[in-house]
Chains A and B, each alone.
Chain A
Amino acid sequence: MTKRKYINNASRRSFLKNIGVFPFLKYTPLLSGTILGSALSSSASADCNQQQSLVCVFLLGGADSYNFVVPGGSAYNEYATTRGNMAVSRENLLSSNDAVQGAFGFNKRLPGLHDLYQNERLAVVSNVGNLIRPTTKSDFNASKSLPQSLFAHDAQQKLWQTGSGNLADSFGWGGSIAQRITECNSSSTIATSISTAGSNKWLNNLQQNYISLNPNADIVQMRGLSPSSSTKNTLEALLNESKAEQGSFFKQQVAHAITRADNTANGLSDAIRDNPVADFSPTGRLEQQLHLVARMISAREQLNMGKQIFFVGLGGWDTHSNQNERLVPLMTELNSALTSFQASIDRMGKADNVTTFTASDFGRTLTSNGDGTDHGWGGHSLVMGGAVKGGQIYGGFPSFAASNNPDDAGDDDNFAGRIIPTTAVAQLGATLADWMGITRAEQEVMLPNLANFNQKNLGFMK
């Protein structure tokens, strides 16, 4: 563990001590109660009167987002030369424009997202990635302040989600936002943070467990703990016994997890049943998850939830082989899921308070390995919703030059095309955190590198 980590933890702890009562302890107990005394949370600036949901769509494996959105004009020729057989041809692009970048194209497999962009409901954040501070090629060559374990999946995924450059940091900025707005949900029994894609770091925070739901299965009550069950009281007594068992952290945590599972099932089953969101019939894996998210957004009032943070994920983006074939169904699903979800939110009349964005481990090499691409660094994120200042690209395109590329972390001899990000995850996170009503001081705690960037808010939210 680094010194930096100590500082972060210390500052987080002192921060936590200074704030109010944490309302979720009643059902998300933490490890052995040792830190419960210092409970927590909530930002003075969060406006609980405004309902809000933030949805992170994580493209697991490192999506080749340089083929989602492709530069036009003379930059296209550089792009095409560098990408070789990975380039999207001009006829497969849907034309768009940005006031600064000029003409560019969306991949024709993303027609719905193109429409949203044209209607100014979707923005592109260009070449964003894990950075500790603004980084040039000479910084990279000198190994100056680089995120740890660049180009490794799990490491970069974790850093994207924690907004840190250090793998020792384990708290995600989604969870940190949730922790500071959770007072808006004080009368709800459901956790502010919900994952439909299993475990992740983005929702990890100090005080409150997020819950993981399974989009493929009904949310059903645990029958051995149901009120009519003969075993309910005895099983609860056994769980309480385990929770109190000093020296057995595993039993304690598993017992808490069982209780959390029971509370979640009990708290959600009615609301989910009552909010079918039947106008959205999901087919793919991502659509199933976003459909469940839509149901929970539809149920916000019933669940007494003012604020919600969601993590959904779609795997399969690690396209080292057969990329041109494999990206077709992936992009098709991404396009369909995001547009169906947005349409459903629009019909609920909640577009202005639901914001969805994409993220990924890293972008991929601009160059080809024959039939695929390898691990890169920067990539594009898409942000959509009624509160987004869409129809614009935020942050410029990087250079796509095949040689002497100032943004390339590799060398020409290896035709690398691992593009150094020109915008940091911390800036993207801060912009969304601003929208959620998190103060700058709090942002700098949850996004430890934010202070190193002059522009904190990228301006893509209204």
Chain B
Amino acid sequence: MRILQLSFLVLFLTACGGGSHDSSTVTDNTSNSSDSSDTNNSNDQNSDNSQDSTDTHTNTANENNSNDDYAASITVTPKIAAKLLTQATFGPSETAIDHLVSQNNLSAWVDQQISLPVSLSQPYVEANSNGSLKSTRHHIWWKNILEGNDQLRQRVAFALSQIFVISDRDYELSNSQYAVTNYYDMLAKNAFGNYRELLEKVTLHPTMGIYLGMVRNQKANPGLRIRPDENYAREVLQLFSIGLYELNNRGEALPAGNPIPTYTQKTIEDFAKVFTGWNFADSAGIWVSNGLTTYDKRIPMVADDDTPTGESFHDTSAKTLLNGFQLASSANSATATEDDLKAALDNIFNHPNVGPFFGKLLIQQLTTSNPSPEYIERVAITFNDNGQGIRGDLGAVIKAILLDKEAINGKAENPNFGKVKEPLLQLSQLWRAFDVQPGAGVTDGVYRLYDKADEGLDEVFGQAILKAPSIFNFYSPDNLLSSNSGLFAPEMQIMTEANIASIHNALRTQIYAFNNQNNDGWDIASRINIDKPIQLASNSSALVNYLDKLLLAGELSNAKKTIITNHLNTINDNTERAQEAIFLIIASAQFMVQE
């Protein structure tokens, strides 16, 4: 019985994720800015060419990963190419599939992707938004993920944005669009760096300081009967790094049914003490509520001892952290606030859970919702040591995830392999497969789904970049495929009846009305190019095979091919045939799943 599978579900709420060090040397143009709030302008370059440290990562990954040997032995077929491109990019194009087939080296492709410079969002947003206008960061995000060469980096940044969650649904972030954009770019720059550095950048980013309340967090004041805010302390442990229960490298919380908690309430209270004494970088001495004040929220938070009482707000008392680690009193140190934070982040980083916990979250984001314990273990081992004695090398971890035999061979390795395609990726895949172009009537180069390009899209898809309903993201890693299923299907949480219907209608309109053969109607709507499908349409079977390769990684069964082909053969017009074929595939269950 399926329900019995519940009994071996490992019951840990994996959440969390990963990160990496800022290996990318991309200069953070804004970090020197002293302008107030989100009103600064930085350069216009949309892509940064410096890439030294990413090269370093490529090398470490190469030398370490035993997957390389396996991946090198693989002959890259169109099917294998399309699968990897579905997992690692915002959707395959025919050109990309053909290129990967002729390159015939999955590992080299990943290395190349890791080495590409990052496509930034911030310059565009600063040039086009006043800091409150929310649409621009969505515009540039779509442009980058549709056009950018750094597909893997953007895909991983998207994954990280759903692990280290901030959201501008929060009222204090909604007017901080430069800062929210800066946060996304930070994730993209650090996508292949080291987890420890990423964790520190996440911790000290002012948007996170606001979102989880660490900014201006003060030590206990018995007179006022106040004590430190526990919010960041709790979520950094539960969601960003180690999770609720002790795990082995296979991601199993043992003993099953009575797992061992990773921390207690007392641990949270001590971490809360660690995270005291930090302020916005350009507002030293101001410790009022951060409510509506305007500070430059792109600059990392700083330790600020300039307090109204003349006494540091950092709690310097001794603290007991994870696994009994004793952090001695820092009362005599001039750099207590920074030192305690670094020691605490080291303590988290070195917890054995991070590899399996964070590794599984990344696996779930990229390749499969229910990885085998062996797959998790292989990824965790790479996290623990990239082969050169370095822990937390995210470039190596990503490579280990994508080139694992389970990722490449799917169901042949694990019968439960696969995942539901998240809604935004359904649109991006359709658009990228058919070389979408902004509507002829637009002057801003913005991609629009009929008239929607930003705020409106999440009403259709239930999802938009950095716009989750809470720190728990759009969906939970342990959301069940169905009530009685033993399988996880995180993305299914937002494939609700309402969203399925709205996505169905939106994509249908895109295919039938907004293609390059149909010039009626909205000239601001982006158009897909269906020349190639029309060209093939006189042969229904050739058309279906082409779409199968492009949209379904060659997974369409013969029975389904026959159903579609028979339908197409009843249509005389080639354009109509092409549209109908694309729609039938896009609206099918098969397209909404990647296996």
Contact = CB atoms under 8 A, between A and B. Distances in A.
Interface string A202-243: 001111110111101101111111000011001101110110
Contacts of A209: 482-483
A222 B505 contact: yes
B226 A367 contact: yes
A372 B229 contact: yes
A318 B496 contact: no
A90 interface: no
Interface string B493-516: 111111111101100100000000
A2 B560 contact: no
B265 to A, nearest CB: 6
A191 B560 CA distance: 30
Interface residues of A, number: 100
B227 A238 contact: no
A15 interface: no
A25 interface: no
Contacts of B592: 254, 258
Nearest to B244: A149
B224 A84 contact: yes
Nearest to B13: A154
A251 B421 CA distance: 11
Given A261-B501, A318-B470, A369-B228, A241 B256 contact: no
Interface centre among B13, B226, B290, B416 (most CB of A within 10 A): B226
Contacts, number: 289
Contact of B6 (A9, A239, A368, A371): A9
Contact of A250 (B11, B481, B501, B557): B481
A55 B369 CA distance: 32
B6 A35 contact: no
A103 interface: no
A255 B505 CA distance: 16
B257 A168 contact: yes
A168 B6 contact: yes
A261 B418 contact: no
A321 B231 CA distance: 9
Contacts of A237: 563
A369 B289 contact: no
Given A368-B226, A370-B218, A414-B269, A35 B588 contact: no
A241 B499 contact: no
Given A199-B496, A234-B584, A238-B560, A249 B1 contact: no
B500 to A, nearest CB: 4
A223 B508 contact: yes
Given A2-B257, A206-B3, A253-B485, A369 B230 contact: yes
Interface in A167-217: 167-168, 170-171, 175, 195, 198-199, 204-209, 211-214, 216-217
Contacts of B480: 170, 204
Contacts of B229: 320-321, 369-370, 372, 374
Contacts of B502: 214, 217, 220
A84 B7 CA distance: 46
A410 B580 CA distance: 64
Interface residues of B, number: 99
Contact of B497 (A4, A221, A264): A264
Contacts of A458: none
Interface centre among B290, B483, B500, B504 (most CB of A within 10 A): B483
Contacts of A320: 212-213, 229-231
Contacts of B212: 320
Contact of A214 (B210, B225, B498, B584): B498
A260 interface: yes
Given A151-B268, A155-B244, A220-B505, A206 B6 contact: no
Contact of B583 (A150, A199, A212, A231): A231
A5 B486 CA distance: 14
Interface in B545-595: 557, 559-560, 563-564, 566-567, 580, 583-584, 587-590, 592-593, 595
Given A253-B492, A374-B229, A60 B470 contact: yes
A326 B231 CA distance: 16
A190 to B, nearest CB: 11
Interface of B: 1-4, 6-9, 11, 13, 15, 171-172, 210, 212-213, 216-218, 220-222, 224-231, 234, 238, 244, 256-258, 261, 265, 268-269, 272, 289-291, 369, 411, 415-416, 418-420, 459, 462, 469-472, 475-476, 479-485, 487, 489, 492-502, 504-505, 508, 557, 559-560, 563-564, 566-567, 580, 583-584, 587-590, 592-593, 595
12 contacts: A82-B225, A170-B6, A224-B583, A231-B580, A238-B588, A245-B557, A250-B369, A254-B420, A257-B497, A261-B501, A370-B226, A370-B228
Given A224-B504, A239-B588, A321-B289, 12 more contacts: A13-B3, A35-B3, A151-B265, A212-B497, A224-B505, A249-B485, A257-B500, A258-B504, A260-B497, A369-B217, A369-B228, A370-B218
A-B interface, 10 closest residue pairs, ranked by CB to CB distance from nearest: A2-B257, A214-B498, A212-B496, A255-B589, A320-B231, A261-B500, A369-B229, A261-B497, A242-B589, A234-B567
